[in-house]
Each structure stands twice: as structure tokens, then as C-alpha cells.
Amino acid sequence: MRWTTFVILPTLATALPQWLKRQGGTTMLRFGCAQVVIDRLDPLVNPGQIPSPHVHQIVGGNAFNASMTTGDVSGGASCTTCRFSDDFSNYWTANLYFKARNGSYKRVKQLGAARQFNDDFSTKIDGGVLVYYVSAQPGKITAFKPGFRMLVGDPARRTADPALKRHNCFRCYTGPNFGGDTSAPCMDNKIDTQNLPKDVCKGGIRSNIQFPTCWDGKNLDSPDHKSHVAHPTSGPANFLSLGGSCPSTHPIRIPQLMYEVVWDTTPFNNKAEWPADGSQPFYFSYGDNTGYGQHADYVFGWKGDSLQKGMDASNCMGASCKDMKVQTIDQAKKCSVKTTVKEDNDGWISQLPGGEMPM
């Protein structure tokens, strides 16, 4: 056990779950980013398109816009909603909506991270995302380069993708206030499912999305936003099981990036309001109530070599790491981006913004 460098939450060390403790020797930055904007934009998949097909929840730097297609994002940003104040990256995922028996939809709010294992920042990011950068492979981990971006998952998918088995999963919290099982995500099919939970979750629903860990070393992006990155030859690395070797086509080991999103589904737990046909009532903004289409977008935007410093510093755990700069949750929440596409994000709406994506 080498927990001496775990400076932010020393008193919590004993409360940490076993799967976190096993990380000794590797670095796992795990920090909150509050919401920077909710908008119907997607500069990665639909650059310049206003509005884009579906609504996203975006966190990170304030350089986010419809056409941030190339270049060093950190140069265009003046603030960020993330705990690490040199992180001007943007992280986004699709919003989730509840579909009531009468056919109307209401957006499900995102919460802060679960209180048990987290710092005072990440539990207060309501509307945000918990971001992980893990050195989940042996050897040198090379941080992303300015202009790097990638996408994981496929919004058109409605059946389980075996390749994403340990990469994309949902947890149904069975007790109030994130009660229930607290084991590592995406490890056990009985605890975590690849589909959205079909029954009431007393404590809300969590989604974990993990990105590939190997890069071709040349391209900052690719036409499908995926083929410049790859999984290790032994299959997808999970941030617990150290990944195998990277393929010769994608030899550079990059950090294991993971997003953790928690939705407060509890206002919608009355089954009398669920669709009469018994269908699962939670829909992603792109019209998916299976959950198999869950996907996530990333645009790298750390200033200078600040992320590389973090990945080189072994044994950094959580939301602080050696001399990496941090900010308070109050400072982070002052950062925002003006909404471009006006949608009703809080009331009952008769259809999903943009309608359901044609299959």
C-alpha cells in the first residue's frame, strides 16, 4: 500500500473500496467537472451544424462551440468547470429524459458524484461528470496532444456490443443516496448492465463509459473519430485489469479515459407514471431507451504538459496530484458557455428536441 501521496482525502483512505486500493502504483486522476452548458451542438460529429441532431450535457472549458474543429482548445478558453484548473478539455454525453405515460418527456437531472469515495468538489458538481484518467497499462503513458479528439460508442446501436462489454455499463443504485453495491464499474454483469436498467432504481442510475487506450501516434482525429485509437490486442483494457500490448498500428499508450454520469431518476420512480406498455421509460436525447447507444465525446484541452505531468506522477489518486493546479467548486461554477440553441431543458416537452433519431 502506497497511500502517502493521497493528500486530498487522507481520512477517507480507510473508507476507500478495495478496487480503488488495488490501484497502488498507477495514477488515477478522478475529478469532477460541473456543467458548462446544455446545448444541441456536437462539434465533433456535426461541426458547424446548429442545431445538431440531439441535445448534450457538456462540461469543461468555455471554448466549447459548434465549430471548434481543430487546434489547441486550451488557447481559446479562459475558464473551466473542472477541478484541475489547467484542464480546458470538453467532455460531453447525451442527456437523459423520462417519458411519462401520457407521452411527454422531462429531462433527468445529473447529480454530483457519490459521496462515499469522493472529495468535496465532485460531490457538488450537480449537472456534471466525474472524469477519470488512469494509467491502466504498464510502461510510459503518453498524454493526448493539442487538437486531439475522439468518440466512443455508437448512438445508432440498439443491441449489445460484445466489444463494449466492459466499457459501457449502467448501475441501478438500489438504495437511497447511491445506496447499494459500490464495487468497480463494468466488471460484473449482474451488478452492471449494458442496457439501461429495466426496473425502478431507488438511488438513481449511473453510467460509466470508457475510451480506448491505444493511439496511432499520428492522427489527432479520424473521419469516424474512432479509428485513430484502438484497444490493446488482448481486448479492451479496463481500468482495473491492466491492458495488454497495443497493436502495432496503434502503438502509443494513452491514458484510460472514463466518464461517470449519475442521473437523479428518483422523481420518476412512481411506476403508475411509467408507459402503460411496460417499456423502459428513460430515453437518451437521441431516442434510445435501450442504453446500448450510449456514447461519449472528448476534445483534449489541457494546458501545456499539465496532463503529462499528472500521468508521469505515479500514485496520484483522486482530485489532487502533486503540483497540479486545482480550483474550488465555487470558482468552477462561475464558468459557463452561453446557450446557442434554445430548447426547453427543464419543462415537460411533447417530443425529444430534434425528434427521435431515425433508425
Ligand X SMILES: *[C@@H]1O[C@H](CO)[C@@H](O)[C@H](O)[C@H]1NC(C)=O
Provide the binding-site residues for ligand X, judged by CB under 6 A.
63, 65, 67-68, 71, 76, 100, 102, 104, 273, 348
CB of 47 to ligand X, least distance (A): 10
For ligand X, the closer of residues 102 and 233 by Cβ is: 102
Q: Considering beta carbons, is residue 65 or 95 the nearer one to ligand X? A: 65
Nearest distance from C-beta of residue 192 to ligand X, angstroms: 29
Rg over CA atoms, the chain: 19
Nearest distance from residue 10's CB to ligand X, in Å? 39
- Least distance to ligand X, CB of residue 104, Å: 4
Of 71 and 139, CB closest to ligand X: 71
Compare residues 68 and 152 and give the one whose CB is closer to ligand X.
68
Shorter beta-carbon distance to ligand X: residue 69 or 195: 69
216: its cell numbers: 496511432
Beta strands in 90-225 (DSSP E): 90-94, 96-99, 105-107, 129-134, 149-152, 168-172, 192-193, 205-210, 214-215
Q: Please say whether the beta carbons of 298 and 258 come within 8 A.
A: no
> Under a CB-based contact definition with an 8 Å cutoff, are residues 90 and 60 in contact?
yes
CB of 88 to ligand X, least distance (A): 10
Min separation Cβ 72 and ligand X, Å: 8
Between 236 and 301, CB nearer to ligand X: 301
Question: What sign for the dihedral angle of Cα 22, 152, 343, 49?
Answer: positive
Show the beta-strand stretches assigned E in the chain.
28-33, 35-39, 56-60, 90-94, 96-99, 105-107, 129-134, 149-152, 168-172, 192-193, 205-210, 214-215, 229-230, 252-253, 256-263, 282-284, 296-299, 317-318
By C-beta, is 63 or 229 nearer to ligand X?
63
Q: For residues 163 and 121, what is the distance between their CA atoms, to the nearest angstrom?
A: 33
Residue with cell 411527454: 104
Q: How far is the CB of 95 from ligand X (least distance, A)?
A: 18
Please say whether the beta carbons of 341 and 50 come within 8 A: yes
